[in-house]
Structure 1
Amino acid sequence: MFSPQKTQECRGRKNRGLAFICSGLTTLSLVFSHGEAFAASIDEEIAELKSAVTAHANEVFKFEQRVLHPVDTRLAVFLTLASRDVLDLDSVELFVNGKPAASHLYTGKENASLQQGSIQQLFIGNLASGEHELKAVITARAANDRFVRRETSHRFQKRPGVLRLQMALEAKAPEFEPRVSVVEWK
């Protein structure tokens, strides 16, 4: 059936096939080893890009804070109750130079907290140096169950640096008319 010549041809084909398979496996192993190296280099580049983006984001944040919120122009306004258990605050509206700056409606818990002596931060913002006016509109219920609405204005001089103003509300018996005093914190 098979002649010696055909047997040699078959053996040669097997050897060539085996050589082809071996060379293919070698090529695949080279591709995989280079692929792993290629993937490792991409991972390194991604890590470098991430750290560069993080560093850039930190720089942008610091710059933003310096430009948008410079310490030399900062104004902070706080509210306290000088006369406790005399006023139940309903709302406070705050205007700086005639422009609305803050508005707050009070809950029962917030009133109770203020009556226990807490300090509420009403406003933090930036203001150029110079002469300015702070106006507050206060709506409250007095101890004699009368609703009162008071407007108060305070002129102040803003200098470079942080300026902190405290608005203290008080109302004395028997009229329970609320008065607002503004004090500059040092």
Structure 2
Amino acid sequence: MSARLPRAQRRGRSPLLACVLSSLLLTLSAFSNGQEQAPAPVSDEIESLKQELLGLNRDLLILEEELLYPANSQLALYLSMDVGEFFQLDSVRVQLDDQMIVSELYTPHQIDALFRGGVQRLYLGNLKTGEHTLTAFFIGIGPEGREYKRAAEVTINKQTSGKVYELKIVDSTAKLQPVFEIKEWQL
């Protein structure tokens, strides 16, 4: 029997396992929150089991990510912002070899988090070896309150290691315009 399961089986097990784990967690949570009275030793044991279940769930999610996206074939994209005066972000779309891989609309709370230094993971996926074109479209309100749509593009030469890129939006006080960059992180 092969150690590698077909993709449909891998995906089919994960949601079922997540559903079972969350049902058990909710049951334990309801039981330990006083909906049913339990003696003190049983309550402590339930709390201990609940903590172990949370740790197990975290470990399973990490293992699933490692299996689905091995480090040597991985492409990860992140978004960061250091703007405010010249650009108000509304959405980001990213294409890889002319195929849409991610599209995000932003709420004011998300934009505020990015302004305060947050970094959002936009995409994590597998990428074949070879040359690829990554294009990011930034849509929002630019200088003088006008609709603003700009693109940044980079050619990826994928070899045997994973690739990590940061989509950066930065104010340029010299140009009085926002600047959009795609920066590769060195691993």
Q: CA deviation at 1:171?
A: 3.3
Q: Distance in 2 between matches of 1:121 and 1:100?
A: 16
Structure 2 match to 1:149: 149
- Structure 1 residues 175 and 145, CA gap change in structure 2 (3 angstroms): farther
Q: SS of the residue aligned with 1:72?
A: helix
Could you tell me how far apart the structure 1 residues matched to 2:121 and 2:68 are? 20
Separation in structure 2 between the aligned mates of residue 62 and residue 147 of structure 1, nearest angstrom: 40
Q: Corresponding residue for 2:177? A: 177
Q: Where do residues 5-84 of structure 1 align in structure 2 (5 Å cutoff)?
A: 68-84=68-84
The Cα offsets for residues 46-69 of structure 1, whole Å up to 9 and x where unpaired, read as xxxxxxxxxxxxxxx999767642
RMSD: 2.6
Structure-1 residue corresponding to 2:13: none
| Structure 1: tracts of 5 or more residues without a match | 1-60
Q: Figure out how many residues of one structure are paired with residues of the other and give that number.
A: 126
Q: How does 1:87-126 map to 2 (within 5 A)?
A: 87-126=87-126
Identity in percent: 25
CA distance in 1, matches of 2:153, 2:63: 35
Residue identity in the other structure for 2:160: P
Q: CA deviation at 1:83?
A: 3.1
Q: CA deviation at 1:131?
A: 1.1
CA deviation profile, 1:122-181 (whole Å, cap 9, x unmatched): 111100122111011110112532220112211121122221101111233586433211
* Contact 2:96–2:135 (CA under 8 A) maintained in structure 1: yes
Decide whether the 8 Å contact of 1:166 with 1:183 is kept in 2: yes
| Deviations 1:60-115 (CA, angstroms, capped at 9, x unpaired) | x9997676422210000111113345422111000011111000000000111111
SS of the residue 2:156 aligns to: strand
TM-score, normalising length from structure 2?
0.59
2:138 matched residue in structure 1: 138
TM-score scaled by structure 1?
0.59
